[in-house]
Amino acid sequence: MELKKIVLASILTALSIVIDITFNALVPTQTMGTAYYAIPIIIAGIFLGVKYSLLMAFIGDSLSVIIGGIPFFPLFSIGAMMWGLLPGLLLKNKKGFSRILVVVLITHILVTTLNSVALMVHYHKSITGLLIDLPLRAFLIIPNSIIIALLVEAVLTPIELRKNVEV
């Protein structure tokens, strides 16, 4: 059973990396607040638990920036790890679109806040500089969270149905 978890975690981590690198190549701005790479991490948090999803998020974020040619800054990894921690804790036994959406919104707000702190520390960005693009990032949290929640729900529904049908 543990080997199955490791294999699934590896596949989901690779998927997260591919999503992150592909999306960053298509939309090269970091101010968009898109976190579609988090979908496999959220799914891992629900099915594999927090331990796996935290490790996946750290490894996935680290490899994404290295492969993408971006310098590695550890504070940004904390934000990525929140995508494994909160959904893994809050969605473990109770699912449903409205619950997923609330958890994704809360996580997205927390990650945006953590990433703002990381921008201040790693890039020496001033609070004034952060406040300039904050309205755009805050505005985009809602549609991005809805998309993430819809995609997570779209993956969870067939898995739940399959579990109910299996003998």
Confidence class for position 36, pLDDT limits 50, 70, 90: very high
From the number of C-beta atoms within 10 Å of its C-beta (0-12, 13-18, 19+), residue 38 rates as buried
CB 48 within 8 A of CB 5: yes
**Residue pointed to by tokens 């898109």:** 34
pLDDT (tens digit per residue) in 79-119: 999 999 999 999 987 778 999 999 999 999 999 888 888 88
Mean local confidence (pLDDT), 144-151: 93
Taking 80 as the threshold, does the pLDDT of residue 133 lie above it?
no
Mean pLDDT of the chain: 86
Segment 2-14 mean pLDDT: 93
% pLDDT > 90, the chain: 48
Is the pLDDT higher at 45 or at 120?
45
Among candidate residues 81, 130, 133, 79, the one with its CA nearest the CA of residue 109: 79
Q: Which residues contact 1 (CB under 8 A, 6 or more apart)?
A: none
Residue 58 banded pLDDT, cuts 50, 70, 90: very high
pTM of the model: 0.87
pLDDT reported for residue 164:
67
Q: Which two tokens stand for residue 17?
A: 């990396």
The first and second tokens of residue 61, run together, are: 């974020």
Q: What pLDDT is stored for residue 28 in this prediction?
A: 62
- Length in residues, the chain: 167
How far is it, in rounded angstroms, from Cα 83 to Cα 134? 20
Q: How confident is the model at residue 126 (pLDDT cuts 50, 70, 90)?
A: confident
- Predicted confidence band of residue 166 (pLDDT cuts 50, 70, 90): low
Domains annotated on the chain, with CATH? 2-158 (1.10.1760.20)
- Give the mean pLDDT of 116-128: 79
Would you place residue 33 in the very low, low, confident or very high pLDDT band (cuts 50, 70, 90)?
A: low
